[in-house]
């Protein structure tokens, strides 16, 4: 069945897409390119599984978290496929693997079922990291999160259902599924009341994954991530602060009232936790919080970034924010996850939130030059 039944319907969708992109650019100063490329491959056309290793598919594997997961998998001798449309990711993140005999990159899109089916062929483990990471989009373009998070996840699950190879699925969810949690640190059993469309889209994806895993007999591991930071990240508070201070090293505009406090986990600690959970978890469906053991407020982050840039006497201008000092509508002001469940498997983060912030700032400063 064709996706659009008529030319007029196609035109309506095209026009709606243009309106969304226009709104995003005007409201958030971000640029999202519509994906319309045919599926392409880089790397070996035929992969042969190494001894005692399954074939892994990493969606969003050219992105920030995805590329670091790819590094870890390749370094331990795993055979890896990556599916990415490069709207947020970059080939530069996985450049060193492109000609490796146990690696294949496929440029395609999760909204295209043929791309998904081709990419997931013969894969026993699917790591689903592809998503639109911009929480701020929730208030101006909910369609983006619905399509790129929920529909994309559904398409992937349908392929997993129809596949004879898929044995387990790893999913990166978000702390935003809890919304304004009353219990701090927040355990996995806390009420799920997202206050952003982004958080709702992650929760909807979690529910779909759980249902498919129970119904169709594969394992699922879901990680509710705190703020993951480190090298290769191209969005978020640290990246934004560095860009602003490069333009004006004397003043820094900060969204909200500066007291927003959240957990920040370094990418190296994050990936190690994901690998431990994927191997050690016993139940068919497991959900883990993944974050550091403390939190840090926005003003402290701004001070740390300025210091790592070698700047002194930077004047901070706080916008005041919305809804009691939040950075934007749907922003969770306070977030600290309980990671007791993951730590029981033998994992513990090496860096606390402030240490992670400083390490990430140094990496980003070096990358930007």
Q: pTM of the full predicted structure?
A: 0.88
Token pair recorded at residue 140 = 């101006």
Domain 7-229+265-290 has CATH 3.40.50.720: yes
Is the pLDDT assigned to residue 305 strictly greater than 90?
Answer: yes
Fold of 237-263+294-336+351-368: UDP-galactose 4-epimerase; domain 1 (3.90.25)
pLDDT range class, residue 20, cuts 50, 70, 90: very low
- Delimit the domains of the chain by residue range: 7-229+265-290, 237-263+294-336+351-368
pLDDT at 3 over 80: no
Percent residues over pLDDT 70 in the chain: 85
pLDDT score recorded for residue 17 = 44
The tens digit of pLDDT for each residue in 88-144 reads 999 999 999 999 999 999 999 999 999 999 999 999 999 999 998 888 776 678 899
Residue 33: predicted pLDDT = 41
Chain centre distance of CA 165: 25
For residues 331 and 270, is the Cβ–Cβ distance under 8 A?
no
**Lowest-confidence range among 40-54, 120-134, 309-323?**
40-54
Q: How far apart are CA 257 and CA 320, in angstroms?
A: 5
Where do the H-state alpha helices sit in the chain?
7-28, 64-75, 113-120, 142-145, 152-162, 197-216, 237-247, 267-280, 298-308, 340-343, 353-368
Same fold, 7-229+265-290 and 237-263+294-336+351-368: no
pLDDT digits (tens, 9 = 90+) for 193-225: 999 999 999 999 999 999 999 999 999 999 999
pLDDT of residue 303: 98
* pLDDT number for residue 133: 82
pLDDT, position 137 = 76
């Amino acid at each position: 069945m064709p996706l659009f039944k008529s030319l007029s319907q196609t035109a309506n969708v095209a026009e709606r897409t243009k309106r969304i992109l226009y709104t995003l650019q005007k409201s958030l100063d971000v640029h999202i390119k519509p994906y319309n490329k045919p599926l392409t491959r880089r790397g070996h056309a035929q992969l042969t599984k190494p001894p005692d290793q399954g074939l892994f598919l990493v969606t969003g594997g050219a992105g920030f978290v995805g590329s670091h997961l790819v590094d870890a998998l390749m370094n331990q001798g795993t055979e890896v496929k990556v599916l990415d449309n490069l709207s947020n990711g970059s080939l530069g993140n996985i450049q060193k693997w492109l000609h490796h005999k146990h690696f294949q990159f496929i440029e395609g899109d999760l909204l295209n079922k043929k791309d998904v089916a081709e990419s997931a062929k013969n894969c026993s483990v699917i790591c689903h990291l592809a998503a639109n990471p911009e929480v701020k989009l929730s208030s101006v373009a909910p369609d983006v999160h619905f399509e790129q998070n929920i529909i994309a996840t559904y398409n992937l699950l349908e392929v997993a259902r129809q596949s004879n190879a898929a044995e387990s699925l790893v999913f990166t969810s978000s702390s935003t599924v809890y919304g304004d949690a009353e219990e701090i640190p927040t355990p996995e059993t806390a009420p799920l009341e997202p206050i952003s469309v982004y958080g709702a889209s992650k929760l909807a994806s979690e529910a779909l994954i759980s249902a498919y895993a129970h119904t169709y007999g594969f394992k699922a591991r879901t990680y509710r991530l705190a703020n993951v930071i480190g090298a290769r990240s191209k969005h978020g508070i640290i990246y934004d602060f560095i860009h602003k201070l490069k333009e004006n090293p004397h003043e820094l505009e900060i969204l909200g009232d500066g007291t927003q406090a959240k957990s920040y986990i370094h990418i190296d600690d994050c990936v190690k936790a994901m690998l431990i959970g994927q191997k050690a978890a016993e139940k068919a469906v497991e959900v883990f919080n993944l974050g550091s053991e403390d939190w840090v407020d926005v003003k402290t982050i701004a001070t740390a970034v300025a210091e790592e840039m070698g700047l002194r006497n930077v004047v901070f201008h706080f916008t005041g924010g919305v809804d009691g000092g939040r950075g934007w509508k749907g922003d969770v002001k306070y977030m600290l996850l309980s990671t007791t469940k993951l730590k029981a498997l033998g994992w513990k983060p090496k860096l606390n939130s402030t240490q992670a912030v400083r390490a990430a700032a140094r990496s980003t400063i070096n990358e930007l030059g």
